Amino acid sequence: MKKGIPCFLNEDLFNKGLRIYERWYPNIAPHIAVSGNTGSGKTYAIKLLLAKVSKYVPSSRLTVCDFKGDSDFEFLEGTPQNFYRFDACVDGFNHFYEEFVEVQRRPETHPGMHILLYDEWAATMNFLEKKEAEVLKQRLASLLMLGRSFGYHVILAQQRLDAEYFGKSRDNFNIIITLSNPSKEVVNMFYSDFRDEIRPDRKRGTGYMLINGSNLKRIIVPEIGNMDSVHNAIKRIVEL
């Protein structure tokens, strides 16, 4: 996408009276990791991002793996495919991965942009036996390294982006989004080159967006006027 997908407001420009959005260019920065503690607005931001994808890339498809299984994505209940909850998330992840492998083998079957949202990857890793967790880590690494060429994109969300749940593959997340104030560990892992720019002034719905390790932005998640329309937009690309 040449124009990208407008996601979140640039806070510094917003404070100057300019409503300018930071954009996601999937062909340049294919994979996203989102972190934020309870109450930070993380899920709200993810829903907005997915609705924007539905609007700007209407042919895209979405697989949602909701390990928490709470009310955040209950609007997808009854969706005939591509929505998984709790322990079924492993099946959803493996189905997404196996489809990706098949497209690698037969590029002519390329279905277009396909996004995986995995909410609470860390909780899944702790739930699984060590051997099974390692298999999923290896598959995630393959998706992060090779997915862009085939239109397969990962959006992974959890409260803390601890390295133990990703291994070396965490370096393949091209966009890091942290809602509210990042912990010292997160700053050390992802924002160490921008330590002097990190301030403890982040409130709910605000945070940082680091693009390809070199472009740090302070962001605001815009308010959603009609959550039902957001849910319908997300549901549409889950059902494709």
* The predicted structure's pLDDT at residue 1: 60
* Strand 83-85 versus strand 5-10 pairing type: unpaired
Q: What is the mean pLDDT of residues 50-63?
A: 96
Euclidean distance between CA atoms 146 and 85, whole angstroms = 26
- Both structure tokens of 105: 């083998």
Q: For residue 27, which of 47, 57, 2 has the smallest C-alpha distance?
A: 2
- Both structure tokens of 172: 């393949």
Cα distances (angstroms) measured from residue 172 to each of 123, 165, 180: 20, 13, 23
Euclidean distance between CA atoms 7 and 138, whole angstroms = 29
pLDDT of residue 2 exceeding 70, the answer is: no
CB 203 within 8 A of CB 44: no
pLDDT tier for residue 190 given thresholds of 50, 70 and 90: confident
pLDDT of residue 203 exceeding 80, the answer is: yes
What's phi and psi for 192, nearest 5 deg?
-60, -35
Task: Give the model confidence (pLDDT) of 74-91 as tens digits.
Answer: 999 987 789 999 999 999
CATH of domain 5-238: 3.40.50.300
In sequence order, what are the beta bridge partners of 118?
65, 156
CB 62 within 8 A of CB 53: yes
130 C-beta neighbours (distance < 10 Å), count: 7
Euclidean distance between CA atoms 223 and 69, whole angstroms = 24
Euclidean distance between CA atoms 199 and 34, whole angstroms = 18
pLDDT of residue 136 exceeding 70, the answer is: yes
CB 126 within 8 A of CB 74: no
pLDDT tier for residue 19 given thresholds of 50, 70 and 90: very high
pLDDT tier for residue 109 given thresholds of 50, 70 and 90: confident
pLDDT tier for residue 152 given thresholds of 50, 70 and 90: very high
Domain boundaries, the chain: 5-238
